[in-house]
Amino acid sequence: MFEIAKESRFGSPRSLLLICLISVCLVGCGEGPEMKFSAHPRVKDLMPKAQETVNSTIKLHFGEPSALNAWDELPVEFGLVTGAVTEVQDAGKGQKKLTVELEEESDANLTGDSLQFYREDEEGEELLDFIRVVSHDPKNNTLVVSGDHFPEAEAEVSIGGHELAQGQKLYLKHCLHCHGVTGDGQGATAKYLNPKPRDFRLGLFKFKSTDYADKPSHADLVRTLNEGIPGTYMPSFKLLSDEDKAAIVEYVRWLAIRGEIEKRLIDFFEADFSMETYTETKQEGKEGLEELEQDFQDLVTDDLPDEFESIYEQIGRKWELADDEKSIVNPSEPRVPDTPESRQRGQEFYVKVKCITCHGPLGNGDGSETETYKTDPLTQITYSKPGLYDSWGELVKPRNLRLGQYRGGNRPIDVFRRIKAGIPGTPMQAFSSALSDKEIWDVVNYVLHLPHEDPGMKHKTSSSETAAVPETTSGTDSE
């Protein structure tokens, strides 16, 4: 682990203290087929040195699946335990038995975790070292550890990552085949599904109680695990224990943060150090290339550390903020009574603020927007099929509101939040400035009543969706 830290361009003592690494060794550490986090495809658009820098920076701070890093600058519950060594005994086989007085009581089993401590190297410089906890006896507060160096009595140590490791273990068991090792939504079964399993790396979540641009709260992610996402292949995980769900949620948040930081690093280098620039410069001659590489090196030395710090602080703050009660989107008015008059007003607003362009005049999900051709905002290329696209570049259908199936929950407050705060990652924007809370309630009353309206009112050319079952890619979505 420390090897990577030394190679990194963040190896200055200042940032090493700031970026505190804990490697987490998992069950079967070093055995079995090796799993790897994959780099985002956009990394390939950078010049070779920039690719290397993005990959090594991400690896330094997040590790690999077989040895995760718990980087304590992130608002993630890693399950770190700190304490002081009170006694060091020889345990044979090159191992030591440490008695550790923990700062806080913990019933966590630390077996398999890594223990972190500072020691002096040959030149007398302080450096961070990691060793592995071979076994843990919580009753006597003793740990048998193995490694090349050991902490001495009175050394401060931190041990852990068990929460994240537990989350990973459960994720690999329950979520991997759809959401993939890296959380890129490319698990083995993903290609057959529509909608696709979420790629967490954009940090975009659709169904949550917070505002459009905000992250989901812990409670929102737990809700998704409990309820699943009706009408898609995302199943419910209600039967898992609360602790297990909490651990999985931490791991999903961690994967999302990892992906977002990777994306922001790519954005940072893209303008001046793309593969395109590199190839062009190379064709022009050696001198230009040397200059380009020098410019890159200067950027890495002079600007990257501060830029990186601001990236992870911004992202971290957003995730933290999502758990602030004030971030929850709550109506300023109680629900307007569900009367024919309210629904009538709701229908008028539905037309006025143009829900109709996507959801259609009768709510069948067949508005005019589903028939026009759109361009990919990244590449400016027109999509081959008409209709709306999501932030992952997939065709997305406006919901058929006559089916009465709501992916983000069917309580009136859920539908209220979908309208007020929009559905991130999809073309459905927030309506908080177009409609007052009272008006949104009227629209909610109208929308929730649509499935109960006389089916005779159904549009003749209504969408071919008949049953509210998820579709495979051979289904209507992609046809």
Q: Which residues in this chain contact ligand HEC in the complex, by CB under 6 A?
A: 174-175, 177-179, 193, 195, 197-198, 205-208, 221, 224-225, 229, 232-235, 237, 248, 252, 350, 353-355, 357-359, 369, 388, 396, 398-399, 401, 406-408, 415, 418-419, 423, 426-428, 431, 443, 447
Give the residue with the Cβ less far from ligand HEC, 136 or 417: 417
Give the residue with the Cβ less far from ligand HEC, 160 or 216: 216
- Smallest distance, Å, CB 73 to ligand HEC? 23
Q: Classify residue 111 by burial, with Cβ atoms within 10 Å: 0-12, 13-18, 19+.
A: middle
Give the residue with the Cβ less far from ligand HEC, 61 or 399: 399
- Smallest distance, Å, CB 56 to ligand HEC? 28
d(CA 347, CA 291): 63
- The answer for residues whose C-beta is within 8 angstroms of residue 298's C-beta and 6 or more apart is none
What is the Rg, in whole angstroms, of the alpha carbon atoms belonging to the chain? 26
- Smallest distance, Å, CB 176 to ligand HEC? 8
Give the residue with the Cβ less far from ligand HEC, 108 or 434: 434
- The answer for residues whose C-beta is within 8 angstroms of residue 14's C-beta and 6 or more apart is none
- Smallest distance, Å, CB 221 to ligand HEC? 5
d(CA 253, CA 333): 32
- The answer for residues whose C-beta is within 8 angstroms of residue 310's C-beta and 6 or more apart is none
Give the residue with the Cβ less far from ligand HEC, 100 or 395: 395
- Smallest distance, Å, CB 467 to ligand HEC? 16
Residue with token string 């410089």: 125
- The answer for residues whose C-beta is within 8 angstroms of residue 462's C-beta and 6 or more apart is 362, 364, 366, 400, 402
Residues 335 and 434: beta-carbon distance below 8 Å: no
For residue 367, give the nearest of 388, 336, 342 by alpha carbon.
Answer: 388
Residues 467 and 411: beta-carbon distance below 8 Å: no
Residues 79 and 108: beta-carbon distance below 8 Å: yes
Residues 119 and 130: beta-carbon distance below 8 Å: no
Give the residue with the Cβ less far from ligand HEC, 205 or 273: 205
Q: Classify residue 89 by burial, with Cβ atoms within 10 Å: 0-12, 13-18, 19+.
A: exposed
- Smallest distance, Å, CB 197 to ligand HEC? 4
Give the residue with the Cβ less far from ligand HEC, 6 or 238: 238
Give the residue with the Cβ less far from ligand HEC, 79 or 203: 203
Q: How far is CA 259 from the centre of its chain?
A: 7
d(CA 48, CA 52): 6
Give the residue with the Cβ less far from ligand HEC, 42 or 354: 354
- Smallest distance, Å, CB 74 to ligand HEC? 18
Give the residue with the Cβ less far from ligand HEC, 96 or 206: 206
Q: How far is CA 214 from the centre of its chain?
A: 13
Give the residue with the Cβ less far from ligand HEC, 42 or 174: 174
Residue with token string 């992952």: 392
- The answer for residues whose C-beta is within 8 angstroms of residue 35's C-beta and 6 or more apart is 64, 65, 66, 181
- Smallest distance, Å, CB 214 to ligand HEC? 12
Residues 303 and 297: beta-carbon distance below 8 Å: no
Q: How far is CA 279 from the centre of its chain?
A: 33
- Smallest distance, Å, CB 225 to ligand HEC? 6
Residue with token string 């307007």: 336
From residue 98, alpha-carbon distances to 69, 135, 155, 308 in Å are: 23, 11, 11, 37
- Smallest distance, Å, CB 219 to ligand HEC? 12
- Smallest distance, Å, CB 403 to ligand HEC? 10
